Amino acid sequence: MKYKYTATQESGEVVESELDAKTVPEVLAFLTSRGLKPVSVKKIDEGFLKIFKMSLGSGKITVADQIFLSKYLALMLRIGTNLLQAINILIEDFKKSSIREFLTQVRTNLERGQPFYLAFANQPRTFSQVYINLVKAGEASGNLEEVFQNLTDSLTKEKKLTDQVKGALTYPIILLVTSFVILFFLIMFALPKIAKVFLDGGFQPPLFSRIIFGVGLFFGNFGGYIFVALILSGIVLTYLYKASFTFKTFVFDIVRGIPVVKEVVRKIALQRFAATLSSLVKAGMPLVQSLEITADAVGNVELHSALMRIAHEGISKGLTVGEAFSREPFFPQTVVNLISISERAGHIEEVLQTLAEFYAGDVDGSLKTMVSFLEPILLLFIGSVVGAIALSVIIPIYQLTSQF
């Protein structure tokens, strides 16, 4: 049986390796004999069990895990537990291996005198730059309890909004996927066979039917190649979307051309902007740096560019916050006015938080409008295709029967 261990040497250097042993005490005895101080020891899953646990996502720290972690850290710090003790307690409480490994890394960093936020910064694919910078700001100001409480609230609201979007889009996606599967089998298998029956039988169908049959025969002969080409195109487009800012801008330009979808995307971006910037300003981060981090977090190309211009071409050059925001057409006039008023009053983070809550509620109504707009369009499209196929078969059959 294999075990993976993490231990520290007398010099403080961390050592990680694997060892064949029968039990955990045998591993601990081996580490002691080598003068190593054990940090963690765990059994390595092999074969089907390992694959099964990976399929369940045991190696990934989800948003729900981050909420749970932030909530417990805030609670423990509030009742007076010091940071190292809190981490030790959490290591014992958490059963998920990925979180235990992360917390073990946090404990090792603390024992070696390294900054607390460094463990979060070492996992940029798991923790967002907003999360990392808030923890860094909280550690610097000695206000980690409030920071973790704010992170708990903001992550909970973000997850609720994400679940809202997923829930609203579930039915249209199921409808779309099911419809395309049905159409795929109709065009790839049923239609080519029907076309051959008519065309090989010496009967001359009408022009409309011949066109539909020609499409069916084309897909019957080259459908496999088309299917592979579509998969490869999807992979390439996904890569370009992640790697190319120009291509991402092109995609957003297309989205902006769809009236109902455009409004939903815009409101979600504004909600993320307000919630993120509010948290960063509340944590005491400089406004320009907060805007830069927010720009990377909103997930909207147009808003990203607007926030970067506000930070570097507006505020950095001496404009007031209200003046810098008023130059960007992306923001509604109401948002610009509220930001200008809050700047003069000195509580911009409170107004931004209010805006975030307003847009979170507004997104729900916009999603319902979008779904009610998309559903009939999808049904009309699928119905038209199925109807065209049905007519292409019914018309020649009717002509045949009318000859007798």
237 falls within a domain: yes
The residue among 34 and 140 whose pLDDT is bigger is: 140
Same domain, 106 and 231: no
Same domain, 218 and 274: yes
Q: Give strand pairing partners of 190.
A: none
Question: CA 236, CA 253: separation in Å to the nearest integer?
Answer: 19
Express each pLDDT in 241-276 by its tens digit.
Answer: 777 767 877 777 777 677 777 888 888 889 999 999
359 falls within a domain: yes
Same domain, 7 and 116: no
Check residue 50 and give its pLDDT: 46
Identify the three-state secondary structure at position 37. Answer: strand
314 falls within a domain: yes
Express each pLDDT in 75-94 by its tens digit.
Answer: 888 878 788 888 888 887 77
Express each pLDDT in 182-233 by its tens digit.
Answer: 877 877 777 777 777 777 766 677 788 778 878 778 877 887 788 888 889 9
Domain of 354, CATH number, reads 1.20.81.30
Nearest to 388 by CA among 206, 257, 243: 206
- 108, 136, 154: which is the final residue of a domain? 154
141 falls within a domain: yes
Question: CA 228, CA 254: separation in Å to the nearest integer?
Answer: 25
In 187-244, which ranges are continuous DSSP H helix? Answer: 191-200, 207-243
Q: Give the pLDDT mean for 353-366.
A: 86
Check residue 306 and give its pLDDT: 92
Express each pLDDT in 145-192 by its tens digit.
Answer: 888 998 898 899 888 888 888 887 788 888 888 888 887 787 777 777
Question: CA 206, CA 182: separation in Å to the nearest integer?
Answer: 25
Check residue 211 and give its pLDDT: 82
58 falls within a domain: no
Number of structural domains (the chain) is: 3
Q: Domain limits at 24?
A: 2-44
Question: CA 41, CA 110: separation in Å to the nearest integer?
Answer: 19
Same domain, 260 and 177: yes
183 falls within a domain: yes
Same domain, 354 and 388: yes
Q: What does the block give as tokens for 68? A: 């749970």
Same domain, 124 and 250: no
Among the ranges given (39-48, 101-110, 307-316, 374-383), the one the predictor scored with the smallest mean pLDDT: 39-48
Same domain, 182 and 314: yes
Question: CA 185, CA 191: separation in Å to the nearest integer?
Answer: 9
Q: What does the block give as tokens for 352? A: 């931004």
